[in-house]
């Protein structure tokens, strides 16, 4: 037997037999099942996370599409983004009870901005509902209650989106002007 040849060693033969016992076979089999289980679990978590990221990206794009449509007074786009039952607790201390009422407010000149920026700070997911929160900066072209034309105002917002037949629509909103 050479210096590194242990093939005939009774010590290693006993160890090889010991590794072939039913207890160790079961242990290694369970170890493999654990590996498979955790691999599947990580895959599911990864898929869920990616799906959530895709929804978050879509919602943030819709938020910016809404901002652009408001600036351009594009009511056709807003009618696609806002659900018919869309309602708003607005900064004028009133509630607009549906999409048509909000569009009437816009046509009446109360939503008429020369500048409008929105920063989504938080996105919360709950099944077919997404809630976004953040801040907005706007400059109104006209004097409206609590706002002077040409001045920059900041406000906080909460938007609620719902997946309706595979399409995300905004169903509710709250916005409050931050005291200057």
The CA distance from 131 to 160, in Å, is 5
Instruction: Tell me the three state secondary structure of residue 111.
Output: coil
pLDDT tens for each residue of 142-176: 999 889 999 999 999 999 999 999 999 999 999 99
Domain count, the chain: 1
- 100: alpha, beta or left, given left = phi > 0 and alpha = psi -120 to 50? alpha
CATH number at residue 48: 3.10.450.50
Boundaries of domain holding 173: 35-177
Tokens 């006993």 identify what position?
A: 14
Cβ–Cβ under 8 Å, residues 132 and 159: yes
Query: Which residues neighbour 88 within 8 Å (Cβ) at sequence distance 6 or greater?
Result: 95, 96, 102, 172, 173, 174, 175
The encoded tokens of residue 37 equal: 């289980």
3 falls within a domain = no
30 falls within a domain = no
105 falls within a domain = yes
84 falls within a domain = yes
Is the entire prediction scored with pTM above 0.75? Answer: no
139 falls within a domain = yes
44: phi then psi, degrees, rounded to nearest 5: -65, -45
What per-residue confidence (pLDDT) applies to 2? 47
The CA distance from 26 to 52, in Å, is 38
pLDDT tens for each residue of 41-93: 554 444 445 557 899 999 999 999 999 999 999 999 999 999 999 999 998 88
Whether the per-residue pLDDT at 179 is higher than 60: the answer is yes
pLDDT tens for each residue of 77-86: 999 999 999 9
């Amino acid at each position: 037997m050479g210096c590194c040849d242990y093939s005939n060693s009774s010590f290693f033969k006993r160890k090889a037999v010991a590794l072939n016992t039913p207890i160790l076979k079961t242990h290694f089999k369970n170890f493999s099942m654990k590996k498979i289980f955790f691999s599947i679990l990580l895959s599911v978590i990864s898929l869920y996370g990616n799906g959530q990221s895709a929804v978050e990206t879509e919602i943030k794009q819709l938020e910016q599409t809404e901002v652009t449509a408001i600036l351009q007074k594009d009511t056709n786009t807003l009618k696609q983004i806002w659900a018919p039952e869309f309602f708003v607790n607005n900064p004028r201390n009133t509630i607009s009870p549906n999409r048509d009422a909000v569009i009437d407010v816009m046509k009446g000149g109360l939503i008429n901005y020369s500048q409008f920026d929105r920063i989504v700070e938080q996105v919360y997911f709950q099944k077919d509902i997404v809630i976004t929160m953040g801040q907005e900066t706007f400059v109104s072209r006209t004097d409206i209650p609590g706002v002077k034309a040409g001045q920059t105002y900041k406000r906080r917002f909460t938007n609620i989106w719902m997946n309706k037949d595979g399409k995300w629509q905004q169903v509710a909103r709250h916005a409050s002007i931050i005291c200057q």
